[in-house]
Each structure stands twice: as structure tokens, then as C-alpha cells.
Amino acid sequence: MTYNFAWLNIKRTLNKIDWKLLLFLMLFLNVKLAVKIPAIIVIYLLRFNFRFGFSFKNSRLPLFYLLIIAIAFVALFINISYANPSYFLVFFTGMVFWLLCILAIHQVKLSVENNDTETIHNTILVFFVVNAVLSFFNIAHIVWETGALNPYRYQGEYQKYFIGTGDYIRGLTFDTSTTNAVLSTFGVIYFLMRKKPVMMLVCMAVLLLTGCNFMNIVLPAIFLFLFLFKSSKDQKSLIAACFMFLVVFMAKVSPQNDNYVIKTVKNIIYSYKNTDDNPSAKKPDRMPAAEGQKRQFATKYLDSVKYELNKKETLTPVSPVAASIPKTDGGRILIGGPNNNKLSNLSTIEATPEEKQLLTFIDNNRTKLPISGQNQFKLGVPGKVTGVLQTANFFRDDPVKIIAGDGMGNFSSKLAFRATALGFAGGYPYHFAYISKEFLKNHLDLYLNFFSKQPELHSFINSPYSVYDQVVAEYGLLGLVAFIVFYVGFFAKHYKHLTYGIPLLIIMLGAFFLDYWFEQLSVIVFFELLLLLNIKETTYPEPVNV
């Protein structure tokens, strides 16, 4: 009986799905731009419609997208960026990204308008199921590869996994684990408010597997708000269960993430200081005996693993760029002269090809890089905080650009990183590489400073990526007003009616600190789908058949 009932529910769900929307989401949210563009083409061939309905009063879509494009043209002429021929490709590429945002939200809106809410809910359900299956496959593959039931504590293979295990839980989008974490956080709240406990717990499991510390901080805050003000007795029980799962995961499964967060907070307060010229010759009495034994054991273990791997590995060709970089016998990379970077010298693992490319760029542009060009590295204020200060200093030194910003791709955006042709954020023609001087000595320099060093520093807390920074730095006060009034305001004005929409909006406002989400063309699209659906079902409820 139970089996038959479950099968009937599955069959009914599959019969009420917007397959066009599901196909579009599965393809468009893929990390590859080469998949996103065909997805747009296919969905418009299947559903040909270009009636966007933009207007200043009761606009069908957020007017923000049109305004941000207009502001980009204003900045183009105010800053005379058109004088640089290499900038035209950058500007054109930026326009393509914003147009893709418009085309995507239009199709999402059409799906919400043309289907009943149950069909859209079923489509979203299937999306999360597929994402969870692929995420669980990711962790199963890691367990199979390492032979460790808990790879979050596995320190072999140069600590390829260990604290970074969550980075490999990419799910359906094949994008960064942060993308999966944000989508899964959406799922937790969405299914909680819709009283779907099984799927809520599934999404919570995926979120924990990604090991995203930022979302693990944001979600409990949202849980607390819902627990106190907007939840039933059953929902309170689910919130308590999820909170306990989080505590157990942080304490037992991946305690190093907990330690990492604590260490990061300490580094914000206290600058990293190390006056010892030879970090490998630390005296045993400088650390507790137990801690010293653990480090000694870990060092010997990693060295033994490296020895065994080196016996089996064969040499592979090295690019001229990588081969030109000198290195020590231990595999540490040296640049130009004496490097007193104590923190990076602690690592005995050879730099990756990507890191070598960054190191080569630093070496070739050392005099133009005020932060990464220095031989000494002192860990203090996180990179994201420094990025905000850089933006503030930029406007202080050039107040004329406060109105319309420094221009698209000139200061802080995925586009700016992509246009370097260094492979940061996708491919870009090398011969048309473009780096503005403001980007070079600010956010690019900041990124190079952290991401050319050991993996422990490759964190969102040290990344200058942020929607807020992008909007303010490249589009100025005009862009900021357009974002607040015509994007956030487009959804927030329905706050009296929204259910899961309000906590999702708060989560998205927090996630805007993590990445350039509009240019990612993933999380934003799904966020817009959920909000547009919630607006429809709460503001314009469908009649109930009696």
C-alpha cells in the first residue's frame, strides 16, 4: 500500500511539470557559458516571446536591468573609456551578460505566468532532487577515491580534500560549491515554509556537505527569526533538527572548518606576526607538547605520501611559463629574489599551474602591484574588507566617478577578471586582454596577493568578489540607487504577502557579499523564479476548485 501510494505521488508530480522550464534551469545554471547560451536559444525557440513589459509603473520585470545598461553607456562617455580600442570587447561582453540576465528572467516569468503554481512547485522539486542526487554522487566518488568514510578528515594526497572536501560538492550546476550551497540554502527555507520535511532535510544535508561557512552562519540566523516569529510547532521541530545537524557536522565531521572560522576571526582582530626567519626550525617548546606531536605526525605522514607518489608518477611536459619559475627542492616557488613570506613557506606542496601563472604575472608586474608585489606577506585584515577600503579610497581620490562609477569591467566584476585572459573567470582572447590601471592596483592586486599563496587563503573572506562592490565601483551612486530601488525594491514591495520570499530575499542580500552573482547567471535566476512564484501565489491566489 505504501509503495503504491508513493508511486502514485511520483507519477502525479511528473505529470505536472513544466519540462521546458526544467530543461532551461538544468542547462542555464550550468557553469559553462557554452551551455548557457544554447540554453537561452533553445528556450526561445520553444517559447518565442520578447514582450518584456518594462515600465516605470508596475513593471513586469525589474527595471534595474535596463537602467544598469543605460548607466554603463553614461560611464563609457564620461570616463572616455571608448578611447581604448581594447575596451570595446570588454564593454560588448558586459552588455551580453546583462542581456542574458534579461532574457533569463523573462522566460522564468513566462513559466510562472503560464502555469498553475502546483506545476512550478513540482518543477522546482524535481530540480532539487536532481541536484541532491548529483551532490551525493560527488561525495560518494570522493569516499571511493580516498577510501575514507569521512574525507573531511582525510589528510592524504597533499590534503587534496580534508578541509576543502566541500569544494568538490558541486551538484547539478558543476559550478563552485558556493553556488550549490546558496541554492541548497534556498531549498532548506523553501521546503521548510512549504512543510516538506523530507526535502528540507535533503537540502540541509547537501548544504552541510558543501562546507560553506558563510551560509552555515547565515542560515542559523534565519532559523532563529523563523523560529521566533514565523513557524508552526512542526516547523520549529524541523528547525531544531537542522540546527543539531549543523552542530554535529561542525563538531564531529568537519571540526577543521570550525577552527578555520575561529582563526579567521582572530586574524581580523590581530595581525599575523612572525619574526622567526626560519619557520622550519621552530623550537619544540613554542607549542604545547600534544600539538607538537600532532604536527610532527602530520608532517611525516604527508612526506611519506609524497614520497610514494613521486616513485609512481612520471614526468609530464611543463609549459615554458611554468618551467621558467625557479623552485626549491621542497617544491616551494621562488619569485625574483629573497621571499620572506613566512606563511607560504610553511607549505611543502608545489604550486598548481594556476598559481604558477599568477606568480609569473606578479613577477612581471611587481612594481605596479602595491600588495602582492611585496616580498613580505603579513596576514591581517581579510581581503574582502581590504577590497571595500580600496573602493572607498578610489572614490576619495577620484570623486568625479562617484556618480556613474569607473565603468563596466574597469574595477570590480567577473568581467574585469575575465578580461585579463589569465583564466580567472572563463576564457578570453589573449590578444585582446584588457586590464584597467584601477583594477590592476586594487582588486586584481588584492586577489593575486591571496590566491597565489597556499590553499588556506583561497577563501571567500579574502576574495574581493561582491555584487555590492561591483555595483558601487563600476556603476556609482546611480547603479546603487537602481539596485536598491528597482531590483531589491521590486521584490521587497510585496513583503506583506510573501511567505518563503522574505527569508530568501534576506539570504540573497547576504549572498551578494560572496560573488558577482549577476554575471554568474545561476543563483540569481533561481532566486528570481522562487520570488516571482511566491508573489504570484500570495498576491494573486488561484481560485480553488470545489
| CA–CA gap between residue 276 and residue 342 (Å, rounded) | 8
| CA–CA gap between residue 109 and residue 101 (Å, rounded) | 12
| CA–CA gap between residue 202 and residue 188 (Å, rounded) | 8
Instruction: For the beta carbon of residue 267, count every other beta carbon within 10 angstroms.
Output: 16
Instruction: Provide CB contacts within 8 A for 290, sequence distance 6+.
Output: none
| CA–CA gap between residue 54 and residue 63 (Å, rounded) | 6
| CA–CA gap between residue 312 and residue 445 (Å, rounded) | 38
| CA–CA gap between residue 47 and residue 24 (Å, rounded) | 11
Q: Are the CB atoms for 331 and 345 separated by under 8 Å?
A: no
Residue 228's identity, in one-letter code, is L
| C-alpha count within 13 angstroms, C-beta hemisphere, residue 170 | 12
Instruction: For the beta carbon of residue 404, count every other beta carbon within 10 angstroms.
Output: 23
Q: Are the CB atoms for 531 and 491 separated by under 8 Å?
A: yes
For residue 90, give the nearest of 360, 338, 433 by alpha carbon.
433
Instruction: Provide CB contacts within 8 A for 472, sequence distance 6+.
Output: 391, 405, 479, 480
| CA–CA gap between residue 473 and residue 477 (Å, rounded) | 9
Q: Are the CB atoms for 240 and 226 separated by under 8 Å?
A: no
Q: How far lies 464's CA from each of 62, 265, 367, 386, 404, in Å? A: 26, 17, 21, 8, 20
Q: How far lies 11's CA from each of 8, 16, 122, 215, in Å? A: 5, 9, 11, 34
| CA–CA gap between residue 336 and residue 369 (Å, rounded) | 14
Q: What is the pTM of this model?
A: 0.82
Dihedral of alpha carbons 240, 129, 144, 315, sign: negative
| CA–CA gap between residue 175 and residue 178 (Å, rounded) | 8
Give the residue extent of every domain in the chain: 292-368
| CA–CA gap between residue 123 and residue 17 (Å, rounded) | 5
| CA–CA gap between residue 64 and residue 72 (Å, rounded) | 12
| CA–CA gap between residue 510 and residue 217 (Å, rounded) | 10
Burial of 262 (0-12, 13-18, 19+ CB in 10 A): exposed
What is the chain's pLDDT, residue by residue, as a tens digit (546 residues)?
566 556 566 666 677 899 999 999 999 999 999 999 999 999 999 999 999 999 988 899 999 999 999 999 999 999 988 788 889 999 999 999 999 999 999 999 999 999 999 999 999 999 999 999 999 999 999 999 988 888 988 877 667 787 888 889 999 999 989 999 999 999 999 999 999 999 999 999 999 999 888 898 999 999 999 999 888 999 999 999 999 999 999 888 887 766 666 665 555 555 444 434 333 333 333 344 444 445 544 554 554 454 445 544 443 333 443 333 334 333 333 333 333 233 333 344 556 666 777 888 888 888 888 888 887 766 678 889 999 999 999 999 999 999 999 999 999 999 999 999 888 777 888 889 999 999 999 999 999 888 877 766 777 788 899 999 999 999 999 999 999 999 999 999 999 889 999 999 999 999 999 999 999 999 999 999 999 999 999 886 665 444
* Residue 327 bridge partners (DSSP): 333
| C-alpha count within 13 angstroms, C-beta hemisphere, residue 458 | 15
| CA–CA gap between residue 76 and residue 74 (Å, rounded) | 5
| C-alpha count within 13 angstroms, C-beta hemisphere, residue 274 | 21
Q: What are all long-range contacts of 390-393, with beta carbons under 8 Å and residues at least 24 apart?
A: 390/442, 390/443, 390/446, 390/464, 391/442, 391/469, 391/472, 391/473
